[in-house]
Chains A and B, each alone.
Chain A
């Protein structure tokens, strides 16, 4: 596709705000898997993560006029998804149904992509992935959010600062602390 015909996220949301529903579909296609990865790493449950991503994208539809072109679209949509994920975790905690430190095998089925399972490398990488996911779940929420956004989603510090609405210095400090904690937990793995 010719580059000049590719719309930025901000152009797409502007078109959607002006009634172009196709722009909404394009935004959904761009963000559904990114948001799914973020939310899944956060809540550690495929079904709940998908529901949260659905809620986020429905909110994008119903609240499109709330977006103002002063922030990046990605920052706005991640903020919505993050807030919904946190709300879900709080509800879960209240219900005391799920112990976050426990992970059923069905959870892992969801996130493992379709790869060959018969090589030693694959098994090892899946094991490493499980260990990292488990360690991430052990982090406090404010560390978990920033480290996922930085090291998995690869967002900039500035974007993360806007998403979590804390100063840049605090974000940097939290990310550093989160990495130290993860490293401590995963020591035995290496």
Chain B
């Protein structure tokens, strides 16, 4: 054992954390080096002195001052907001309730928008262009004048969600009429 190895083991020796063999080795080193023994005793004494250092007390007005600050924090608008957002520390899939709600809303919105973009799987509307041509030829010509001169405006009107007559018109063949208009553009 050399000096550095001895110094590395001083704390473990004082705190009785060395295995017996190592402990004996260290004691043998101290027997041969009295200054090493002095060093160890000096550290032991230092540790005792540090343990005996008095506890430092807070001042008498500490608690009153602290409670004032706590009250201030409670009434601070940002603190209120913080408290409101942390009410109930539960998390859902790693999100706080607020974020979980926002994320859910975003996912639902995404799904709804996505569904709007997907074309409807109506057999009549997905037939090949040749069928469309065939069907259009069977549509009787409307005798009443068109309410709109501009076909684009009429199509936009057909997609109006407030148009409650839509299904009835599809049944009566007006849906195919719309296809014809697109094809004839």
Contacts and interface: CB of A to CB of B under 8 A. Distances in A.
B58 A36 contact: yes
Contacts of A123: none
B49 A128 contact: yes
A190 interface: yes
Interface string A135-171: 0000000000001000110100000000000000000
B56 A180 contact: no
Size bracket, chain B contacts = 20 to 34
A111 B58 contact: no
Interface stretch (A47-55, A71-79, A89-97, A98-106): A47-55
A156 to B, nearest CB: 11
B54 A179 contact: no
Given A33-B55, A50-B59, A175 B11 contact: yes
Contacts of B86: 65
B62 A183 contact: no
Contact of A58 (B46, B50, B69): B69
A46 interface: yes
Interface in A1-55: 17, 28-29, 32-34, 36-37, 40-41, 46, 49-50, 53-54
B39 interface: yes
A133 B50 CA distance: 9
A57 interface: yes
**Which applies to chain A's interface (DSSP): helix, strand, loop or mixed?**
helix
Given A28-B66, A58-B70, A50 B58 contact: yes
Contacts of A84: none
B50 A62 contact: no
Contacts of B62: 32, 50, 53-54
A133 to B, nearest CB: 8
A42 B53 CA distance: 14
Given A58-B70, A65-B89, 14 more contacts: A32-B62, A33-B58, A50-B59, A58-B73, A113-B57, A133-B53, A152-B53, A175-B11, A179-B46, A180-B10, A180-B43, A183-B46, A186-B46, A190-B42
27 contacts: A28-B63, A29-B63, A33-B55, A36-B56, A36-B57, A41-B56, A46-B56, A49-B56, A54-B62, A58-B66, A62-B79, A110-B56, A111-B54, A111-B56, A129-B53, A129-B54, A133-B53, A147-B50, A152-B51, A172-B12, A175-B11, A176-B7, A176-B10, A179-B10, A179-B11, A186-B46, A190-B45
Interface of A: 17, 28-29, 32-34, 36-37, 40-41, 46, 49-50, 53-54, 57-58, 61-62, 65, 110-113, 125, 128-129, 132-133, 147, 151-152, 154, 172-173, 175-176, 179-180, 182-183, 186-187, 190
